[in-house]
Amino acid sequence: MQQLKTALTKCKIVPVVVVKDVAHAAPLANALANSGLTVVEVTMRTPAALNVISEMVKARPDLVTGAGTVLNAQHLQQARDAGANFGVSPGTSVALREAILASGWNFIPGCATPSEAMTLAEHGFEVVKLFPAEVIGGLNMLKSMAAPLPHIKFMPTGGVTLAKVAEYAAQPNVAAVGGTWIVPPTLLEAGDFAAIEKLAREAHDAANGLISV
């Protein structure tokens, strides 16, 4: 978990990507890593996802590559077998939580309420995903939870835009911000990795206070 926490702290932004073509895996990994990003979440929403994860890990072992949309124990094992460095879930059922704990694998479980976050923290999770962030209160919710729950770090994801990323990243209880805008499907399908690298660098710089947007 320390490698993941260090990577999150280093760049404060995690692109959340949906990849349909395994041929895009290596060039995408290169574009993200070359932009300064250190972590990526590849959602398990396409038939190619597991192969994409494997290829991204091979292409850029310096990029901490995670599997997103892990919903059950089977997904968890598949993601681990594919070589993913960690897993992420949109929410956390009791069955999934127990599978994660039994596996000992690096994982950022999802939550949407303070009670869910507290329960996950009680089970030893140091970083949790706040999802869908903008829908359930976004920045105001994170600010409200900072004082009573200072021991819990969040990765807000869902609806966050470039215009808000700097403010999210600056919150003391935010480990990193999940960004779905960084790798648009249109650019990925067009194979325009130069444009993706530009968006990734912009997101990195905004999250780290290097530019204002």
Residue in 12, 41, 55, 164 annotated catalytic: 41
For this structure, is 129 an active site residue? yes
Which has the closest alpha carbon to 56: 104, 98, 22? 22
For this structure, is 122 an active site residue? no
Residues 84 and 140: their CA atoms lie apart, in Å, by 32
Interval 125-156: pLDDT, tens: 999 999 999 999 999 999 999 999 999 999 99
Residue in 12, 129, 153, 164 annotated catalytic: 129
Interval 39-57: pLDDT, tens: 999 999 999 999 999 999 9
Tell me the domains of the chain and their CATH numbers.
2-207 (3.20.20.70)
Predicted TM-score (pTM) of the model is 0.96
Residues 77 and 105: their CA atoms lie apart, in Å, by 10
The answer to whether 129 and 179 have CB atoms below 8 angstroms apart is no
Long-range contacts of 135-141 (CB under 8 A, 24+ apart): 135/159, 136/112, 138/164, 138/168, 139/164, 139/167, 139/168, 139/171
Interval 195-207: pLDDT, tens: 999 999 999 999 9
Residues 130 and 91: their CA atoms lie apart, in Å, by 9
